[in-house]
Amino acid sequence: MKSWERLDALLARVEQALLVFFLALMMVTAFSQIAVRNLFGIGLTWSEPLVRYLVLWVGFLGAALAVREGRHITIEVAVLWRSARDSGTLKAVSHLGSAVVCSLLAYAAARFVRDEAQIGNQTFLGLPGWVPELIVPVTFAVMALRFLMRAAQCVHPHPAPPDPA
C-alpha cells in the first residue's frame, strides 16, 4: 500500500504541474490569437482547437486531483442515517460504486479512443485526433484506482502516526 501511496503522490505532482502548464498555455494561446488578429488581421487556425483540447485536459486532470483530495462530487444520502459504527462501511461501498462507474467509463472511453484511431481523424497541426482524447480513459482509470484505494482505507484505516512531541 505504501508504494501505491508514493506513486499516487508522484502522480498528483505531475497532474498539478500539467494543470499549471496547460492553464498558462491556454492563456498565452488565447492572448496570442487576439493579439495576432487585432495587430495583423490574421488568425491562428490551430489555436481554437488547441484551447478546446486543453480545456478537456484541465477538466479531467482536475477531476482526478479532486478524487485524490476527497473533493469529488458525492451523493451522501446515507450520511443522514448512518451511525459511527457503519460510517466506514458506507463510505467503502460508496467508493467501490464510484470505482465501478469510473472503470466502466474508462473502458468505454478506451474503446472510443480506439475507434477514433481506426477512423484516422486529425486535429490541429496534423495531430491524430485520438492523441488528445487519451486523457479521458487514462484519468477515469486513475480515478477508479484512487476510489479503490479510498475504499480499502475505509475498511482498513491506517493508524495515526505517533505524535513526535
Q: Rounded to the nearest 5 degrees, what angle is found at the Cα of 38, between the Cα atoms of 34 and 39? A: 115
CA dihedral 51, 52, 55, 61 (to 10 degrees): -110
pLDDT at res. 51: 93
How many Å apart are CA 120 and CA 129, to the nearest integer? 7
pLDDT single digits (tens) 36-87? 999 998 888 889 899 999 999 999 999 999 999 888 876 665 555 666 556 7
Within 10 Å of residue 50's Cβ, how many Cβ atoms?
20
Cell triple for residue 9? 503522490
Domain segments of the chain as ranges: 2-155
Please return the burial class of 126, using the count of CB atoms within 10 Å of its CB with bins 0-12, 13-18 and 19+: exposed
pTM passes above 0.85: no
The predicted model gives 112-137 an average pLDDT of 92
In the prediction, which pLDDT does 43 show? Answer: 85
**Which element (helix H / strand E) includes 161?**
none
Task: Please determine, for residue 149, whether its predicted confidence score (pLDDT) is greater than 80.
Answer: yes
| pLDDT of amino acid 162 | 53
